Amino acid sequence: MKILILGSTGMLGHQLLSRLSAHFETWGTLRQAEPRLAALPNVNPARLIAGVDAQDFPSVMQAVATVRPTVVINCVGLIKQRESGQSVLPALELNARFPHLLADLCQASGARLIHISTDCVFTGARGNYTESDPTDAADVYGKTKALGEVTHAPHALTLRTSLIGRELTQRRSLVEWFLGSQASVKGFQRAIFSGFPTDAIADILQEVVLPRPELHGLYHLAAPPISKHALLLLLREAYAHPIEIIPDDAVHIDRSLDGTRFQQATGFQSPDWPSLVQQMAQVPIHYTEGIN
């Protein structure tokens, strides 16, 4: 199997590149050369293609023509934490239009597409969302991510999930914020999510999704729901970062997803959160902040 990862420097992309390279011929695209990516465990620097930009679709077409992949994994997108993630035109281009262009390209190339979507297509007013629930995001990011979901093509799989993990080139994520905090932090007890660490997503793709080429359409990939407060307590222990976590009820949001349909289709059972966080903390990648 030959895999092409689009957006390989991102929080999910670099983990996919490193972990899947241990099992498959795995290629990654990036906009400009990044030495830290080439130095990741298992990565073959000769399989990194620089100069690929999702806003320059011919560069994506050239990468697909060069690699001739069996599977394309799309990790490209404007994230909510970036200011540009709420700008209408860039978000429409990358989050909404690009996945459908890519789906057509994959179909023409005989490749399977795995597209990563987000729980932010929902407002979080209710929680325990199923695939049949109508999306109701009110912001640009959530609306454009919903538009970008490829749900009715036999060669394409869209996985809705949420991510936590370390970042290779940025410091915007929850984990990076927590590890960079030296004073006390607030832990929101009523902010609920059901995503996965990025290394766990890579393992699920390798062990569960890639061996099932018939799996297509829209699925929720969900761990047991957990509050941000409980998650921070686990991070504090796993990373030996002993700062005070103050319980806070000010934020009330529940974007937890119901993963029953994926479990029924694959037999997948999620590990518990202590196991997920411990595995994440043991990922053998050196991050620049000095906390591994």
| DSSP state at residue 148 | T
Could you read off the pLDDT of 190-221 as tens digits, one per residue? 999 999 999 999 999 999 999 999 999 999 99
Rounded Cα distance between 150 and 291, Å, is 37
Asked if pLDDT for residue 290 goes beyond 60, the answer is no
CB neighbours of residue 12 within 10 Å = 25
Rounded Cα distance between 224 and 271, Å, is 9
Residue range 243-253: average pLDDT?
A: 97
Q: What percent of the chain has pLDDT over 70?
A: 96
Could you read off the pLDDT of 78-129 as tens digits, one per residue? 876 555 446 899 999 999 999 999 999 999 999 999 999 999 999 999 999 9
More confident: 40 or 81: 40
How long is the chain? 292
Instruction: Calculate Rg over the CA atoms of the chain.
Output: 18
Rounded Cα distance between 62 and 69, Å, is 12
Residue 245, phi-psi category: left (phi > 0), alpha (psi -120 to 50), beta (remainder):
beta
pTM to 2 decimals? Answer: 0.95
> Domains, the chain, ranges and CATH?
2-164+196-223+256-272 (3.40.50.720)
Please enumerate in sequence order all residues whose Cβ is within 8 A of that of 29, keeping only pairs 6 or more positions apart, or say none.
Answer: 4, 5, 6, 7, 8, 48, 49, 50, 52, 60, 63
pLDDT score, position 103: 99
pLDDT score, position 292: 38
Residue range 1-11: average pLDDT?
A: 97
Asked if pLDDT for residue 291 goes beyond 50, the answer is no
